[in-house]
Amino acid sequence: MLPAELISALSSLLPPDRLYTDPVECYTYAYDNSRKIFPPQAVAFPLTTVEIQAIVNLCNQYNTPLVPRGRGTGTSGGSLPEQGGIALSLERMLNILSVDPANRVITAEPGVLNQTIQDVAKPHGYFWPPDPSSAMYSSIGGNIATSAGGPHAVKYGTTRDHVLGLKAVTGAGEIIKTGCYTTKGVVGYDLTRLLIGSEGTLAVVTEATLKLTALPSTVAGITAYFRDSNSCAAAITQIMALPQLPSALEFLDSGSLNLIRNHHPEMLPDDANAMLMIEADGFESETATTVSTILSACKTDGLIGANRAENIAALWKARKALSPLLREIAPKKINEDVVVPVNSLPEFLNSLEQLSKRYQLANVNFGHAGNGNIHVNLLIDPDDAGEAARAEQCLDRIFDLVIRLNGTLSGEHGIGSEKRPFIHKEIDQPTLALMKHIKQIFDPNNILNPGKLFP
């Protein structure tokens, strides 16, 4: 239960339609895409930086957990109020504060959807490169919290590469500004990049200055089908060694292709067990050269065929439908977004196949192969205790494999609570201790998203 004095103070600060205390209303904010449930005792909907500061100060005064939240599309449990307290929903902070085509900048509040930024930037000839599968529904605040990426990160980078500056309220209740409005600036420490990917554990972002990129004049798609994952992985390595960089390079294994076949039986060759969805963009002459060189690089022993795609939109629609379709195979999936160096992909995919057989688990893999970012999906029945235990053991071995190959445990989903027990595999104790010290400086009473990230 929250202290009555805290509820009274919040009620004085926010009107009734922006403060939920009814458990039924609060339940909507008890879960994210990790499918785990932790109900908050209250949900607050601030509209301004000053209101957020006041809420943070109250939570400090009453030692109450405060969990920032966007649209709840995250998969790692980062926005779950595990310790109860207050869910701080930023979904109503929807103002685009400025559009500045001359400087290629949009400044917006954290509740603005990724797709809205794209829609506003497009008439000026620009786009914002981060493009997670949830772009239609996820907010830029959530994108910033996990440094979201997506298919085009292979060429354009992740959220961390496209934010110039932030306004935020720290866990201590201080309003800070990080970064600058210009694309060049080296005054002080780079606190912007520190806050991006911190999953709401250090500060609540209230305003973001986003760096836009010019829309390419032409975009071309390629589909390449392979008899096995080995030959497909070899093609990925060859493509990424080219001077002509694709704007997207997506990998789909046999399990992924079977999901697509169930809905589009005529779409794929019968003997294809791996596929690449490739995109190239730029000026027309540049794109033509890139497509030609990529088609040549696809020629490995297991290539069935590689051709220019006629309908790029249909291609991406099929790719983005994969994750929801996994529910058809098993009622639960363990979805990990690990990353390995591109030249390690053949060994990683081989070892992954061996591990799934060893632990007798269904396994479907797809992802952003150009970055070595593979979404590993272990499909299990949560009511089968033996299968769930095998899945945890398999996951532990997968993470060991990733670290041995000089990879990382998360490329874009974040740590949240789902990967929390494994973070020590990647980060040594002195570095973890430093991170915890930084957390203490920003959030001395540990009210912001407590318990996340660290084991």
pLDDT at 329: 62
User: Domain holding 61: CATH number?
Assistant: 3.30.43.10
Q: Give the domain-ending residue among 91, 125, 140.
A: 91
Q: Which of 370, 355, 361 has the alpha carbon at shortest distance from 332?
A: 361
pTM tops 0.85, yes or no: yes
User: Is 12 inside any structural domain?
Assistant: yes
Which residue, 44, 71, 91, sits at the end of a domain? 91
Looking at the structure, tell me whether residues 119 and 72 fall in a common domain.
no
Yes or no: say if 220 and 239 are a contact pair by the CB < 8 Å rule: no
* pLDDT at position 261: 85
208 and 100 inside one domain: yes
The span from the CA of 78 to the CA of 414, in Å, is 8
Summarize pLDDT for 199-244 with one digit per residue, the tens: 999 999 999 999 999 999 999 999 999 999 999 999 999 999 999 9
pLDDT tens digit sequence for 122-165: 999 999 999 998 899 999 999 999 999 999 999 999 999 999 99
Place of tokens 């809905």: 263
Structural domain including 404 reads 329-425
Nearest to 418, CA basis, from 116, 33, 6, 30:
33
Number of domains in the chain: 4
Residues 223 and 192 in one domain: no
> 441 lies in a domain?
no
Co-location of 295 and 401 in the same domain: no
* CATH value at residue 100: 3.30.465.10
Based on the domain organization, do 102 and 209 belong to the same domain? Answer: yes
Residue 402 sits at the vertex; the CA angle it makes with 398 and 407, to the nearest 5 degrees, is: 155
Q: Given this model, what pLDDT does residue 100 score?
A: 98
Domain end (from 91, 110, 144): 91
Answer yes or no: do 54 and 102 share one domain: no
pLDDT, residue 328, reads 65
Distance CA 352, CA 363 (A): 9
Are residue 86 and residue 106 in the same domain, yes or no?
A: no
Residue 451 domain-assigned (yes or no): no
Considering the domain architecture, whether residues 210 and 100 belong to the same structural domain is answered as yes
- Asked, for residue 153, whether it belongs to a domain, the answer is yes
pLDDT of the residue at 62: 98
In a domain, 439, yes or no: no
Could you give the dihedral angle defined by the CA atoms of residues 202, 207, 208 and 209, in that order, rounded to the nearest 10 degrees? -140
8 Å CB contact between 117 and 210: yes
Query: Are 229 and 301 contained in the same domain?
Result: yes
SS3 55: helix
**430 belongs to a structural domain:** no
Query: Would residue 232 count as lying in a domain?
Result: yes
Do 103 and 206 share a domain, yes or no? yes
Give the pLDDT of residue 288: 92
Both 225 and 202 in one domain: the answer is no
- Please give the angle made by the CA atoms of 93, 94 and 98, to the nearest 5 degrees: 115
For residue 331, what pLDDT is reported? Answer: 62
CATH of residue 396? 3.30.70.2740
Q: How far is 134 from 429, CA to CA, in rounded Å?
A: 34
pLDDT of residue 133: 86
Whether residue 447 lies inside any domain: the answer is no
180 and 244 share one domain:
no
Helix (H, G, I), strand (E, B) or coil at 173: coil
- Ranges of the chain with pLDDT below 70: 324, 327-331
Question: Is the alpha carbon torsion for 354, 358, 364, 365 positive or negative?
Answer: negative
